Structure 1
């Protein structure tokens, strides 16, 4: 059962997404206290950086699903959910893309929920060609799902879409996460029937970021990037009740983002 959060007589699902930059590391930084305080119906993680059995979590009331990278200490995703899914799948179903534990899909009667950790293009954009191959495969995957039922996908998508989505767009123009190719790729994804929930509700909000470098006191000065998203099928736009960035929560170089969706 989903938690009974009521707003104007409407039942609301609370979803959280967080790139924890190492689940074992963030567990030492009060993760469980934060997890319990947020009390989400769905809690999605990226960059768990762990293998099976390295962490055993006691999360009463939650089902736990993990996708591990083959490379140790790298990538990885997880979803903790109060609602039992109809089906769970891991990856995109494409062998070349399914070694790094980047996607988990849960199917429910009325929608699909995905957590995603998009590959980083890396310094000097040396992994950009692979990143764009990934983007195309992911677009096709979520488009196919959306032909069956509504889709909600979240995670560290490793792109700041517009200049408003990072502090220093001019100096970062050709850097990973803000290259023209990556931004155009995300535009293409949205054009295929998807909505960036935060920008839908807050089209002009500035200084709203979800990731800050550990260098140069970036978080202290709020010199950040918004690269963590909740994206929903366009048919769910009217069900978006709130989309927020929880910048006061620490423990990672990312902060959690939240989506409240009516059902």
Structure 2
């Protein structure tokens, strides 16, 4: 199975920049997108062979997630723990043998004004994922808005303490990975310090690969022997993020 995740930073804008060309070329079994920035009825995607599931934010032009899947799920959950979550940041697609979860973790903001909300969200999410994992294995993907280790951000020393690279945010990721989950890219590329998934729009930043790795495929540890590959399609433009891809034998 081939799985793709991409923070498109506005799906309508991404479509104008070639999203559909990439979508059809990559031919994923499941394709997840974050930060769709639209409401129901604002886009009509012709995706033959795929079922479409959308979690829109209540606020117009903001956040939101979607999943396009070739296989019909057993169930779909919008939000966590029975709460719809008005920013549309999480979608859980249940299949017979696993859960597929895509999420767009809240940004702490440059001033860290939203860090307390972010940390509360992380705690709720951690409990939610652990509960799912007790039932069946979990495949988690999306923009987690954190560079976990120094090799996940080009200028780690100057960015220490900044949004996305605070001790608190990194600690939440460590907790997840220390309690039953695998960062799949690091499983295959433990020492690569040049794989990033997000770049500022500032001039020449992406060309010089001054980026952050904040998009992840994370899976339950018991799926480790089924992993085939995990990588980032850094050559694909259309957003300030690039798509990430995982292959798994399920």
Please give the range of the TM-score, normalised by the shorter of the 2 chains: over 0.9
Report the secondary structure of 2:201's partner residue: coil
Q: Which residue of 1 aligns with 2:125?
A: 138
Q: In structure 2, which of residues 27, 32, 49 is the aligned counterpart of residue 39 of structure 1?
A: 27
How far did 1:94 drift?
A: 5.5
Q: Map of 1:151-166 to 2, 5 A cutoff?
A: 151-166=138-153
Q: Which residue of 2 aligns with 1:62?
A: 50
Report the secondary structure of 1:37's partner residue: helix
Against the structure 1 CA distance between its residues 122 and 94, is the aligned structure 2 distance closer, same or farther, given a 3 Å change threshold? farther
In the aligned structure 1, how far is the partner of 2:94 from the partner of 2:19? 26
Instruction: Tell me the alpha carbon deviations over residues 161-190 of structure 1, each in whole angstroms, 9 at most, x when there is no partner.
Output: 000001000111011100000001110111
- TM score, norm. by length of structure 1: 0.94
Q: Which residue of 2 aligns with 1:187?
A: 174
In the aligned structure 2, how far is the partner of 1:25 from the partner of 1:94? 32
Instruction: Tell me the alpha carbon deviations over residues 31-71 of structure 1, each in whole angstroms, 9 at most, x when there is no partner.
Output: 11110000000000000000001001110000000000000
Q: In structure 2, which of residues 67, 71, 76 is the aligned counterpart of residue 79 of structure 1?
A: 67
Q: Which residue of 1 aligns with 2:200?
A: 213
In the aligned structure 2, how far is the partner of 1:165 from the partner of 1:209? 7
> Deviation above 2 Å: which 4+ runs of structure 1?
none
Q: In structure 2, which of residues 9, 12, 36 is the aligned counterpart of residue 21 of structure 1?
A: 9
How far did 1:93 drift?
A: 2.8
Q: Which residue of 2 aligns with 1:53?
A: 41
In the aligned structure 2, how far is the partner of 1:86 from the partner of 1:94? 17
Q: Which residue of 2 aligns with 1:246?
A: 233
Instruction: Tell me the alpha carbon deviations over residues 219-246 of structure 1, each in whole angstroms, 9 at most, x when there is no partner.
Output: 0110000000000000011111000100
In the aligned structure 2, how far is the partner of 1:54 from the partner of 1:259? 29
In the aligned structure 2, how far is the partner of 1:174 from the partner of 1:46? 25
How far did 1:134 drift?
A: 0.4
Structure 2 residue 96 is matched with structure 1 residue 109: yes
Report the secondary structure of 1:186's partner residue: helix
Question: What RMSD, in angstroms, separates the aligned Cα atoms of the two structures?
Answer: 0.9
In the aligned structure 2, how far is the partner of 1:125 from the partner of 1:45? 25
In the aligned structure 2, how far is the partner of 1:169 from the partner of 1:125? 17
In the aligned structure 2, how far is the partner of 1:144 from the partner of 1:232? 14
Report the secondary structure of 1:204's partner residue: coil
In the aligned structure 1, how far is the partner of 2:216 from the partner of 2:171? 16
How far did 1:218 drift?
A: 1.1
Instruction: Tell me the alpha carbon deviations over residues 74-103 of structure 1, each in whole angstroms, 9 at most, x when there is no partner.
Output: 0000000000000001011354x7010000
Instruction: Tell me the alpha carbon deviations over residues 5-52 of structure 1, each in whole angstroms, 9 at most, x when there is no partner.
Output: xxxxxxxx0000000000010010111111000000000000000000
In the aligned structure 2, how far is the partner of 1:216 from the partner of 1:130? 32
In the aligned structure 1, how far is the partner of 2:225 from the partner of 2:151? 24
Gaps of 5+ in 2: none
In the aligned structure 2, how far is the partner of 1:238 from the partner of 1:225? 28
Structure 2 residue 208 is matched with structure 1 residue 226: no
The count of corresponding residues between Structure 1 and Structure 2 is 250
